Structure 1
Amino acid sequence: MAIIVNKEEKRKNIALSCRSLLLEHGINDLTIAQIAKAAGIGKGTVYEYFQNKEDIVFEIITLFIAEHEEEFYKKVTQAESTKEKIYHFLNLLYVNEETKKHLSLYREFIAFSLIDGTEEMEQFSQACQNKFSAILETIFDEAIQNHEIVPAARDLIPALHLFSKGLVIDTHILHTDAKSEISRFIETLFTLIEIKEKK
């Protein structure tokens, strides 16, 4: 009797088995041979599930995003205000040593995309941004419905992405303190968009 393999599950398991390898070696120095060895499969089998090395990197980053998203929603359910929710959203990559490793990988992905970017990388980056935009839109829409922020605030969602990406670079190059920059940005943002109670 033939063994039926769930291709999506197998793909995920291969990615999971080499995630620490990616964090250790980075995108550029990771090889298919290392991936195959970590997953306990042959190099040819890797190509049955992934088109190339970048495809594996996308899968691992997708797994990281899913983890961050889960952690974010845990924090959001405890958050008392929209301001706190936005803070948690922007602060996700700066929480602890593990998330800082993910941050380092994200920096490398940005650098790699700028230098040797492919159409697949652009599409993957756009898909990630769309996912995060959907999360922010939900937060903003709820705050607008509750008359906490002005409706025009929704137009600032792309600016939040730009701030977030800029901070990823500045924390590395200029050693900017992420937490204080995020706090300052949010205070300024809410000074502009928060609906003040009429006296």
Structure 2
Amino acid sequence: MPPAVSEEYKEKKRKLILESALACFAEKGFQVATIDDIVKHSGMSKGAIYNYFKSKDDIYIELMNVNSNQSFDVLREKLERLPTAKERLAHFFEVFRSQVKVNPNWENTSRVHIEFWLSSVRNESTKDFMYNRYQMVYKKILTDIIQFGVDRGEFPTTIDVDFIGNVFWSTFDGICFYQCVMENDELYVRLVNQLERVINSLVTTVE
């Protein structure tokens, strides 16, 4: 009978797979990187990796869940401690503005995310997962701030909260794409500053 494997051991192996996958995806790109690359980087066998994940897509989805869930949980906790929607919105933008300075892996992670997002349209289940995650995680953290401001009377009740969330993320994704290609930190900050002005104008506009 094989020896029992502890949960701590399993978690350590899962973490090793995810770290190796991110390194391979960042180096070669999500499409080009293979399970064999992850095997070589991690030192684990292919069979061992498949014991934890069904496919390369599953590895990336878990990687995204772990990284973004942690960062968004920290952000939400901070936002909830701020008393006004305007303070929350200002902090929200400061977090995104500072990524190029405080997060050394930000550009590599963004490149992989953009590539995976584009490739997901070819797989219906992955496409649905990414769309739902966009709606319930990414967009929601901003629309919750804006709705908080509407409920408190800081922002007009006539504004289209969902539309503003879409404006932010479609624009910010474009900024991220540009930064991943051009690697111009100064311009990145200027673009985020301009986007902040646009969003502030939208949340104070009475239709």
Provide closer, same or farther for how the CA distance between residues 133 and 180 of structure 1 changes in structure 2, counting only shifts above 3 A.
Answer: closer
Q: TM-score, normalised by structure 2?
A: 0.72
Q: How does 1:160-199 map to 2 (within 5 A)?
A: 160-170=165-175, 172=177, 177-192=190-205
Provide closer, same or farther for how the CA distance between residues 126 and 171 of structure 1 changes in structure 2, counting only shifts above 3 A.
Answer: closer
Provide closer, same or farther for how the CA distance between residues 56 and 163 of structure 1 changes in structure 2, counting only shifts above 3 A.
Answer: same
- Number of residue pairs matched by the alignment: 190
Question: How far has the Cα of 1:43 moved from its partner?
Answer: 0.6
Which residue number corresponds to residue 196 of structure 1? Answer: none
Which residue number corresponds to residue 45 of structure 2? Answer: 42
Which residue number corresponds to residue 59 of structure 2? Answer: 56
1:107 aligns with 2:110: no
RMSD: 3.2
Provide closer, same or farther for how the CA distance between residues 108 and 157 of structure 1 changes in structure 2, counting only shifts above 3 A.
Answer: same
Long gaps (5+) in structure 2 = none
Distance of 2:91 and 2:201 partners within structure 1:
16
- Supply the AA of the counterpart residue of 1:138: D
Q: Percent identity among equivalent residues? A: 22
Do 2:143 and 2:165's aligned partners in 1 also have CA atoms closer than 8 Å?
A: no
Which residue number corresponds to residue 144 of structure 1? Answer: 150
Which residue number corresponds to residue 18 of structure 1? Answer: 21
Do 1:144 and 1:151's aligned partners in 2 also have CA atoms closer than 8 Å?
A: yes
Distance of 1:30 and 1:83 partners within structure 2:
43
- Supply the AA of the counterpart residue of 1:128: R
Question: How far has the Cα of 1:59 moved from its partner?
Answer: 1.2
Do 2:143 and 2:162's aligned partners in 1 also have CA atoms closer than 8 Å?
A: yes
Provide closer, same or farther for how the CA distance between residues 91 and 59 of structure 1 changes in structure 2, counting only shifts above 3 A.
Answer: farther
Long gaps (5+) in structure 1 = 194-199
Q: TM-score, normalised by structure 1?
A: 0.74
- 1:117-139: CA deviation from partner (whole Å, max 9, x where unpaired): 21132122123211234433432
- 1:41-89: CA deviation from partner (whole Å, max 9, x where unpaired): 2111222221211111111122221243145236536756423433544
